[in-house]
Structure 1
């Protein structure tokens, strides 16, 4: 990865071309204000979030994640007919059942 130093003014003026260049050429920009670094701009080279962003493991959902893995391994799964869910209350009652 190449690192380039740019001014805040240059970043503001050229943001639309800088992100494309960063993506294509794997460039990290360090943005300066009054000769001091204020932030970095790094390209995202692949889809780090992925299509499963809503089911990824996080510390907040640890217990639910472990429980879900256990239920899946035991074959305890549920099919949801989304056409029957019309309101938020319908969804909540489905989850609680």
Structure 2
């Protein structure tokens, strides 16, 4: 399992740009490793813009179940962990419903 310590790569978890930077790191790590651990150690907050730009786009590359199996978020405070979970779950279900309606 590859460990990504956000604090070593990003100045914060506040902007779309920072989210896109993490997304690039995630994509590269997932291309070489079956599982990736994303550590939020030392991070006290993350914006929805950051989460929308870093984790949600993974749904275009892999299934919801694959994300759950391959990407592990650790050391996140409850606010960050809940936001990541809610956003990915919401977008995954929205995508399924949109596909069913088409």
Give the number of the structure whose residues are more often helix, by fraction. Answer: 2
**Larger RCO, structure (CA 8 Å, separation 6 or more):** 2
The TM-score normalised by the length of structure 1 is 0.32
The TM-score normalised by the length of structure 2 is 0.31
